[in-house]
Structure 1
Amino acid sequence: MTVIYLDESGELGFANGSSKFFVIATLATNNAKRLKNRVRKAKKKILDAGWPIEEEIKGTSLFGCQRRYDLSEEFKKNRDLHIENFLKAVLFDEIKIHYSIVRKSCIKDHIRQAEYGIAYNFFTGKLLTRSYNHFEGSIDLIVDQRNKETHHKLPFDGYIKTQIIGECGHSERFSISHMESHDVVGLQAVDFISWSIFRNYEHNDDRFFKMIQPYVGCCDNWYAEK
């Protein structure tokens, strides 16, 4: 069985000041228990160092913590080390990362102008079908239920199931769950993955991206200039 955790970074809007890139990332594993145990240990170290216990640990908030007054200077000085240690816990031999990188200026007009939600469904479906050969057996896809892009008017679940079953010939069990990230360690893990990828492309900062590169299986590249 393969468990796939899915997250995104950036946004698909085109307002002034919005991101140049959009990232969809999946963290796939056939050993979700080991991932959970490793990440829990990494989280405990960050909490013991002073992170507020009631606040979810996310890549973007951890990286930007130097602007906070409720954390010690020692914690803020070691922010990169905390991120690196978290990523080391996520990255082990029984996981594989697949991601889609979209330069938004290259999105075709018919996708750009389509009803809200179509672009997200399209890019997610392409990523999952192109990385399908890396999955084994039944599939559990877990998505952060706060993801604003999975719009109720354009059902995400039905589209994705159609792509996996119709395009890939998947015949075993395939479930999709929308869950709160603070309840699911795997969603917290893929948050750091998608953030690291986004930071590489959006901000030309590859410090954390270099750590995950050896674990990348499929890169679905929508990056070419028009």
Structure 2
Amino acid sequence: MLIFLDESGDLGFDFSKHKTSRVFVITLLVCDSHAVQVGFKRAVERTLKNKLNHKKNKRRRVHELKGTATTLAIKRYFYRQLPGSGWRIYALTLNKRRVEPHLQTVAGKKKLYNFLARHLLEQVSFSEDLSRVSLVVDRCKNQEEIRDFNGYVANQLEALLPLNTRLDIDHQGSHESAGLQAVDLFCWGIWRKYAYRDLEWYGEFGRHIKFETHYLREPAGQ
């Protein structure tokens, strides 16, 4: 099993700044097998070749798919190239306005992020005969944050995994991983849903969402 993790938005809490997001989204793309992962790799390669780097395009070459920089038409093309089954999406959206002040500090944000990632990973089902789980995370943290994340998530995941299941955690650049590029596209679509009520892209892949939650959402009527 391969799990790709990405996030959209930020964990800043100065809402007077225009660029501070109102929500923060963590998304998992779970692939049941290496064959499914290869299917995602081919989908990314075809989309780059046929839609972004075709011969008529005289601009600089595009090396990866990004949710913010890819048109809806290209996203739809990418989705049509994907395997029909063997993968699913898990997503958690945090309402940042209801986060307690002690979790808005530097140390508090680390604790909050690790808690949210663990909560999402707990929703994934692991079969007893699973030999290996590879968790691939976008390389956007510094070395200290990587050590903290690996230690925390490894402890939490190993408690959920069958005894003989091997766990690997790898931090990669998104340009190196088709799975990370795919989960970036999905994560961006989920973020758009909660930040702007934009369902255009979300509606295309929504049937593959296995678990979705809005954490600390506003009470009904507010």
Give the TM-score taking structure 1 as reference length. 0.82
Q: Secondary structure at the match of 1:206?
A: coil
**C-alpha displacement at 1:81, in angstroms?**
1.0
User: Could you tell me which residue of structure 2 aligns to residue 143 of structure 1?
Assistant: 137
Q: Is 1:27 aligned to residue 19 of structure 2?
A: no
Measured on the aligned residues, the alpha-carbon RMSD in Å equals 2.4
Instruction: Call closer, same or farther: CA 1:94–1:159 in 2, change over 3 Å.
Output: same
Long gaps (5+) in structure 1: 63-78
The alignment covers a number of residue pairs equal to: 207
Instruction: After TM superposition, give the deviation of residue 83 of structure 1 in Å.
Output: 1.8
CA distance in 1, matches of 2:141, 2:46: 26
Q: 1:221 to 1:132 in 2, by over 3 A?
A: farther
The alignment partner of 1:191 has SS state of helix
Gaps of 5+ in 2: none
Between the aligned residues of both structures, percent identity stands at 26
Q: 1:196–1:209: 8 Å Cα contact kept in structure 2?
A: yes
Shift of 1:153: 7.7
Moved over 6 A (4+): none
User: CA 1:136 to 1:24, structure 2 compared with 1: closer, same or farther past 3 Å?
Assistant: farther
Task: Tell me, yes or no, if structure 1 residue 103 matches structure 2 residue 95.
Answer: yes
* Deviations 1:14-62 (CA, angstroms, capped at 9, x unpaired): 1222011100011111221122122211221122163631443311022
Q: Deviations over 1:199-223 (max 9, x none)?
A: 1111111001111211011113304
Do 2:39 and 2:83's aligned partners in 1 also have CA atoms closer than 8 Å? no
CA distance in 1 between counterparts of 2:26 and 2:68 reads 16
Matched with 2:157 is: 164
1:213 and 2:169 aligned: no
Conservation of the 8 A alpha-carbon contact between 1:4 and 1:140: yes
C-alpha deviation, 1:86, in angstroms: 1.7
Letter matched to residue 179 of structure 1: Q
- Equivalent position to 1:176, from 169, 172, 176: 169
Match of 2:74 in 1: 82
